[in-house]
Structure 1
């Protein structure tokens, strides 16, 4: 006897397709728009943290080289380096790194999981039709698409929060303790990931749990223990288990269970009002400023970062009203919803209050805004109101309620007034037109942040050009520090392995003694210096011209050098002034009528640095920076300065130099930083006649 084949319900299949499409879309955006990661350098923190977890490490041990290796947003403590963020999102990225060697698989899996869980919540609260539309609405939101495509914690934490909500509501509905335990573990893990976010999401469910416990105790007392009390206690125990794990993690890294790593990094960076500070940036975060900033953030969420913008928000408000009417006003004359779950509706409505209200106390919502009245500037223009990511859940579900109820009512009206064939044609036209309208509105919203992020990708693509063809086997690469002494800020694509022992070890180019400390720690590697011509700024249209040059360590009892520079327009150059400077002390001389080229001889030994054509020397004490400048002077006083900065170290009987030196060509000034970086392989980058040759060898 053949058994009947149970086919999956149509809504389940549709929801699976929506989840799959969400995964594919996020993966494509992550790989095509963010191949070098985004302008939010927190991504490097999570990816390095994921690599650490795969090596069984919660912290890095850099010892005396901690300053040269310190990554962005890592705490430095006596040679230890540990991230300010909890390891939960990083652990999720580590899974796909271990299985597929591609962490973007996790981004796709999280996108699919969020869409599937929103479908489950919509189905539980109302019906499967609402669930399908809610999942599609959530997945199509610009905030979900853009923020979910980068290695940030918001979408992964929402996944844990949604898992908690599904398990909690299933536990209430089925009176099943297993779901209660799963709910507790899920929200506990979310707390470990982002404590404040988890508390704001859980608050409406906690309120319901307290109400349920109180009602059960009033009605039944303690003996026997009422089932709701037993179930909610299990949820609380599961959550508190991860709270305990969080405190243990804190104690392991910071030495105190109540001192979170993010507080150790920036003690004034948490929720609250008053003076808030993160590194050098601080602000007096008053309630007035908080309300103003959060008002702008919510406005931008509703107009730019939710599906179809204000059209989607209008649907969400209508859906909330429909759900409330369905619960309290019955169904007579109302929209045809098969049912509405009171607990779920109350919890979703509660999220519309707790998430915005709680975020008022967090100054990060001011920081995502550059100028509060410009939605096309600042981090919010690139990633949206990330701290309100959880609001996508209730907004999507209530918008789906309005769409499903409206469609059902329209269908009834059309079939009452037309033949079945005519009704189907009319409904098909309305459906296509509606989807086209929503699609066009949403595409315009998504396109704007993707274009802005693509501009940063173009900037990074040019900056990392030398690394595309470089092959590192056993190398040390010194990196510039445009934003201070941080690795991965901004060059987060260039990350160290947790043991600082990968094919390429990246070290910050700092003071001479610190650079030599890196050289001493890696004596048998090849050395390189990454530099660029131009100024690195946060603006996407300000590009730099990069170079990656090999370095070597020249050493001997005495080093003899020669620097030869070209003289553009030699007929108008009356003299060249040569200066050799070490730590404030200098020697020099002048060359009259230098001609087309000016050659300068100089040398280094344990007693100091000297010019061949000048009397005396400049002492070199340990590791120093030896600066040689050749300044060409015209009759009107305008100048062109060739500047080389060599990192040298002298001991009792030997001298060492990291070679070649950093070279720059500076019009009108004697020092111009990276703006004048000399590019020997790109003569077109300099004016005609500019050339800069320098040699150094043991004498």
Structure 2
């Protein structure tokens, strides 16, 4: 009975109407896949995701559109270094290859919107899964396989962001389809196309391409040896056997593109054998032992690999494949039935050898992708905790290094569904039901069973998808708050100084705030850094309007804290002497206020007893003219001083560009404190002194420095209490007559 169903699955005797229906069904699945990704990419990820690699690929795409492979920032490279870019002196280049960015660049050039590529890749992957399912089994299996693939939570979410996994799978699937067509038809052009596809995939992600291609390489080698042996005994190698000719063409084109990859390596890293990712982090590649990426390191042993990959595969099977365990179980059942069917000598007269070859190659991907990933420590890093699938990158996008496994799982799940459906339609089964019920009841029972199966699978899949969607939506809400100041503001010819919550990296986390390749766009973004560098950045863009982007809240890997942001205009105040006033609000029940001015261990201070509801602190800046702004021979000797007006004999000096900190701490009798903190970046000049204004301001309870959690935003009164006011003024001192 099952054997009859299997034969009908393989049957290719379609009438014109049936062919039209199956083509329409496939087209509908493909279009729905593209529509789903388009909606997710625009609605769920309008500001990109919490995976900051997206900004790397998009910036690299913009560079390619400008004809560049790298950025040149000179001595200011630290202020402009994007996330995951290698810094080589003043040169900055991505750790990733340019293939995936080039795919995004195409839609940026044609449509002005890189998300078009996301939709195209989703459509392409779904269509190619349909083709592979049709090649291994039949068209209806291909339709079901495409639907299963498109509905998988990992497919939907990973395909909706600017990451390389879905595009690389697209290249791998092109290779698989062309390779199998070449095996089936013997056409040389299919073999050449297969070589081009896998060569480009290698350029994009070498290790991923090798793992996918490994079963095909083994098959190609076996085919060449077998055909060479058979031909040798018959009539020699003239003409070349078909398998030798085809696979030689595939290898030649593929190796040519491997050569292009090595040439690119030589161009950007200086060595053909040093990949950019290795130049960025030499111990970040595949292999066991000590692995290291930036400040994260690990002894990656086989035991750790087994635990990490085991957890990733379990979460893949239970959370990230279509319908979870139900879908995975269906796929494994389909694999077992298909392998049983392909046993040597079984149904040999009812199948074509190429179909069996295609199916076995798809099944072999389970081994190559799974085993190959054991040697890559990235599968450890996707977990924030291997026992908790609701944290880390895995909780939002799944175990994406195993993305290629979606293909064989979907195909064999589609096969199992098709066999089950045809088994339910089997006349013998209907007759058995009819023996205890009427024919109408029998049909109703079969339809009800099918409907219930679809509803159960759909409900299971929706439940699995909802959790990561909610997690990603929480990050999107935070990004929406963070980017709110940019929404209704027309910024032209601007330089915006950005905070660096994760260290000196641009686009980590603010991916939407990216520079042009030439660092000369309508808006230029620079990282805040040392006082000397901050002045150097402003000096490099003298004709722009300056702004400071600030936010209140703690930016962490989880979007728990509320973020409130603001853009403030910046300017450079200058004069022989600058006089400042800082006026703050005082809470009730405060019995004293400590005023403290400090820099590099030098301190000036005084205390105010029983303050009123408002306190003004006067202070002044001046230089000693012992150096120059232009960085001449004596620039390192430039000095200045700052003093509190109430204690003019106590001055705090500064050498060159520096940061002066003024704290005003109010103390209650219980010991509770609240500190206003003002940080002013200053430098002496030949004409006197300069200061970047307004200063950085924070308000902190119980501590004197609380970072961005206490950022004072004067235009956002909802972020502080009514008594909390923090006004600053800095003007050149009037000249003495």
Q: CA deviation at 1:644?
A: 0.5
Whether the 8 Å CA contact 1:143–1:386 is kept in 2: the answer is yes
1:683 aligns with 2:717: yes
Superposed counterparts of 1:393-412, under 5 Å: 393-412=407-426
Q: Structure 1 residue aligned with 2:247, among 226, 232, 256? A: 232
1:42 aligns with 2:50: no
Q: Structure 2 residue aligned with 1:214, among 209, 220, 225? A: 225
Q: Structure 2 residue aligned with 1:621, among 627, 640, 655? A: 655
| 1:303 alignment counterpart | 318
| 1:364 alignment counterpart | 378
Q: CA deviation at 1:350?
A: 0.7
1:467 aligns with 2:486: yes
Q: CA deviation at 1:551?
A: 1.1
| 1:14 alignment counterpart | 25
| 1:388 alignment counterpart | 402
| 2:194 alignment counterpart | 183
Whether the 8 Å CA contact 1:322–1:401 is kept in 2: the answer is no
| 1:105 alignment counterpart | 116
| 1:609 alignment counterpart | 642
Q: CA deviation at 1:414?
A: 4.5
Whether the 8 Å CA contact 1:254–1:261 is kept in 2: the answer is yes
| 1:697 alignment counterpart | 731
Q: CA deviation at 1:626?
A: 1.2
Whether the 8 Å CA contact 2:184–2:354 is kept in 1: the answer is no
Superposed counterparts of 1:311-326, under 5 Å: 311-326=326-341
Q: Structure 1 residue aligned with 2:173, among 156, 162, 177? A: 162
SS of the aligned residue for 1:75 comes to strand
Whether the 8 Å CA contact 1:204–1:350 is kept in 2: the answer is yes
SS of the aligned residue for 1:86 comes to coil
1:540 aligns with 2:559: yes
SS of the aligned residue for 1:561 comes to strand
Superposed counterparts of 1:420-439, under 5 Å: 425-439=444-458
Q: CA deviation at 1:338?
A: 9.6
SS of the aligned residue for 1:372 comes to coil
Alignment partners' CA distance in 1, 2:706 and 2:452: 59
Q: Structure 2 residue aligned with 1:378, among 385, 392, 411? A: 392
Q: Structure 2 residue aligned with 1:341, among 355, 359, 364? A: 355
* Greater alpha carbon shift after TM alignment, 340-349 vs 453-462: 340-349
1:136 aligns with 2:136: no
Q: CA deviation at 1:574?
A: 3.0
1:639 aligns with 2:639: no
Whether the 8 Å CA contact 1:561–1:601 is kept in 2: the answer is yes
1:577 aligns with 2:577: no
Alignment partners' CA distance in 2, 1:66 and 1:420: 78
Give the 3 Å change call, closer, same or farther, for CA 684–118 of structure 1 in structure 2: closer
1:558 aligns with 2:609: no
Q: Structure 2 residue aligned with 1:649, among 683, 693, 702? A: 683
Give the 3 Å change call, closer, same or farther, for CA 548–53 of structure 1 in structure 2: same
SS of the aligned residue for 1:341 comes to helix
* Greater alpha carbon shift after TM alignment, 362-371 vs 319-328: 319-328
1:350 aligns with 2:364: yes
Whether the 8 Å CA contact 1:126–1:338 is kept in 2: the answer is no
| 2:5 alignment counterpart | none
Alignment partners' CA distance in 1, 2:530 and 2:489: 26
Q: CA deviation at 1:33?
A: 0.7
Alignment partners' CA distance in 1, 2:221 and 2:409: 25
Whether the 8 Å CA contact 1:66–1:76 is kept in 2: the answer is yes
Alignment partners' CA distance in 1, 2:334 and 2:712: 63
Whether the 8 Å CA contact 2:168–2:204 is kept in 1: the answer is yes
1:671 aligns with 2:700: no
Deviations 1:380-401 (A, max 9, x none): 1100010000001111111111
Q: CA deviation at 1:431?
A: 2.9
SS of the aligned residue for 1:517 comes to helix
Whether the 8 Å CA contact 1:580–1:628 is kept in 2: the answer is yes
Whether the 8 Å CA contact 1:323–1:340 is kept in 2: the answer is no
Deviations 1:359-378 (A, max 9, x none): 00000001111111111111
Alignment partners' CA distance in 2, 1:638 and 1:156: 56
Whether the 8 Å CA contact 1:127–1:339 is kept in 2: the answer is no
1:594 aligns with 2:608: no
Q: CA deviation at 1:541?
A: 2.1
Q: Structure 2 residue aligned with 1:255, among 258, 267, 270? A: 270
Alignment partners' CA distance in 1, 2:228 and 2:673: 87
Deviations 1:545-575 (A, max 9, x none): 2121111111112111111112111xx3333
Q: Structure 1 residue aligned with 2:296, among 281, 299, 310? A: 281
Alignment partners' CA distance in 1, 2:407 and 2:364: 12
SS of the aligned residue for 2:215 comes to helix
5+ residue gaps, structure 1:
none
Q: CA deviation at 1:423?
A: 5.9
Q: CA deviation at 1:459?
A: 1.4
Structure-2-length-normalised TM-score: 0.91
* Greater alpha carbon shift after TM alignment, 204-213 vs 429-438: 429-438
* Greater alpha carbon shift after TM alignment, 8-17 vs 191-200: 8-17
SS of the aligned residue for 1:302 comes to helix
Deviations 1:71-108 (A, max 9, x none): 10000111111010111111111111111111111111
| 2:65 alignment counterpart | 54
Deviations 1:599-657 (A, max 9, x none): 11111111321222211422222111111112223334332221110111112223111
Alignment partners' CA distance in 2, 1:184 and 1:337: 27
Q: CA deviation at 1:339?
A: 9.1
Q: CA deviation at 1:476?
A: 0.9
Q: CA deviation at 1:328?
A: 2.2
| 2:500 alignment counterpart | 481
Alignment partners' CA distance in 2, 1:187 and 1:46: 20
Whether the 8 Å CA contact 1:480–1:509 is kept in 2: the answer is yes
SS of the aligned residue for 1:319 comes to helix
Q: Structure 2 residue aligned with 1:511, among 530, 548, 552? A: 530
Q: CA deviation at 1:424?
A: 5.2
SS of the aligned residue for 2:612 comes to coil
SS of the aligned residue for 2:687 comes to coil
Q: CA deviation at 1:685?
A: 2.5
Whether the 8 Å CA contact 1:126–1:337 is kept in 2: the answer is no
Give the 3 Å change call, closer, same or farther, for CA 596–74 of structure 1 in structure 2: same
Q: CA deviation at 1:526?
A: 1.1
SS of the aligned residue for 1:516 comes to helix
SS of the aligned residue for 2:558 comes to coil
Q: CA deviation at 1:430?
A: 3.1
SS of the aligned residue for 1:617 comes to strand
SS of the aligned residue for 2:425 comes to helix
Give the 3 Å change call, closer, same or farther, for CA 399–684 of structure 1 in structure 2: closer
Alignment partners' CA distance in 2, 1:282 and 1:637: 43
Superposed counterparts of 1:120-135, under 5 Å: 120-135=131-146
